[in-house]
Amino acid sequence: MVDPIVVPRSEHSLSRSHIDPDALKVLYRLHKFDHIAYMVGGSVRDLLIGRRPKDFDIGTSAHPNQVKRLFRNCWIIGRRFRLAHVKFGPKTIEVATFRKLVTPGSEGDPDPAQPSEPQDKHEPRPRPGSRAIQRDNTFGTPEEDAFRRDFTVNALFYDIATFSIIDYVGGLKDLEAGLIRCIGDPGERFLEDPVRMLRAVALAARLDFKIERPIVDAIAKHRAEIRQAAPPRMLEELYKILRGGSAERTLRDLGDARLLAQISPELHRHRSDAMWRSLRALDAYRARFDSAPATLTNPILLGSLVVPIGLLPGRHDDPLKLGALPVARGQVESLRQIVSLQDRLLDPELPERAKRGLTHRSVFDEALTWLEIHGGAPVALERWRDFVAHMGERPAPTDRRPRRRRRRRRRKPPASDA
């Protein structure tokens, strides 16, 4: 039993006025029904250092099915990590039950999933003999939950009942020192979940923090393990990095740690000034917004990485090879169209009829965003914005392919008993 550091409201800067109103609704309702309810993780960390959180996550003593009974707008997702998602329009507040740290093979599931509940398609599938945690539904106390988290600065809690900050692992001290430190042995934690190596580098880059030496040494020893992570999950992590505002530094640091070589040998080999300039432009665009704008679509993010280093395939049917990362062909095709429109967007003599035709293209808005980020042509960009503003309502794109309906398989009739 560890006595936490408890910082009362009068001694910290985190105000409820900075918390998302819908997250507050969830916290208050959980507390009203006698459940412990904390705001947890990155949202607490970011608010304490004056940053705007991307998400507001909640930890609670309520089990997922108990959360679902309290909120009609709640869905339970996942099998390896069962989570409650409380929906407010397009916004999702993630609610996780406090868990304890488990060892491989000792995982429990006291609150089993229902067959009808959606599962997370990015859940990793550890190989036989792996030391990765394959299921983590062994519920515990707030203290146990703090010690199972990855880094100390991500293990801070905000208690809605007392408005105090609770720290079991020294996260406040590390936050003040600007240090990324593992909870527990870094090597063990990285073997449990190799993606933590990537997150350590990305978090340090985003916050401009230093990484403690034991983490650096553990990454050098275990970096090849990151190839065991599920490729869709790794691709999603890459998109998060590109969308996060510190893409250039993160990719540089991943290259220096030789993690990038494990994730995508192609990207590692083609690191160049052209790539860094492109990522710098992407970061500059992202810095204009409090949170990632909808204009930063996956094709835009992907293109900022691969176009300047010549990795975009020239032919429609050629796949984009980035290690094992499963980049969708549709996104590659959208990127190819975005890039192909740039010469026409830069042409000041383009006839009005041709301009109107371009605005009907499904990738037109993304092509304008690309021009804004990478085009270096503010006059052309302003000219197109004026043109669109005077057009009035634009018709729906005419070049979208209709989605093919999948033919349902006929079930064979059961064999009759003879």
| pLDDT tens profile 44-87 | 999 999 999 989 999 999 999 999 999 999 999 987 778 999 99
pLDDT range class, residue 346, cuts 50, 70, 90: very high
Strand-pair partners of 92: 87
What 8-state DSSP symbol labels residue 204?
A: H
Nearest to 186 by CA among 221, 154, 138, 140: 221
If one compares 119 and 250, the residue with the highest pLDDT of the two is 250
* Closest residue by Cα to residue 11 from 207, 152, 143, 166: 166
How far is CA 13 from its chain centroid? Answer: 27
pTM for the whole structure: 0.84
H/E segment holding residue 59: strand 57-60
Residues 172, 45: Cα–Cα separation, whole Å: 9
Distance CA 168, CA 177 (A): 17
138 vs 163, higher pLDDT: 163
The rounded percent of the chain whose pLDDT value lies above 70 is 85
Give yes or no for a contact between 148 and 101, defined as CB atoms under 8 angstroms apart.
yes
Q: Is 136 marked active-site?
A: no
Which residue in the list 55, 109, 111, 120 is annotated as catalytic? 55
Task: Give residue for tokens 């190819």.
Answer: 336
pLDDT tens-digit profile of 113-145? 554 444 444 444 555 555 555 555 689 999 999
Could you confirm whether 150 is annotated as catalytic?
Answer: yes
Token reading at 174: 């590390």
Q: What is the DSSP letter of 398?
A: S
Give first-to-last CA distance, the chain, whole Å.
67
Quick one: pLDDT band at residue 338, thresholds 50, 70, 90? very high
Q: Start-end ranges of CATH 3.30.460.10 in the chain?
A: 1-174
On the question of pLDDT at 306 being above 50, the answer is: yes
Bridge partners of 60? Answer: 37, 97
| Active-site residue flag, 57 | yes
What is the Cα–Cα distance from 318 to 281, expressed in whole angstroms? 27
Looking at domain 1-174, its CATH class is alpha beta
Residue-level pLDDT at 248: 98
Q: Spot the catalytic one: 150, 159, 193, 283.
A: 150
Question: Which pLDDT value is given to residue 137?
Answer: 63
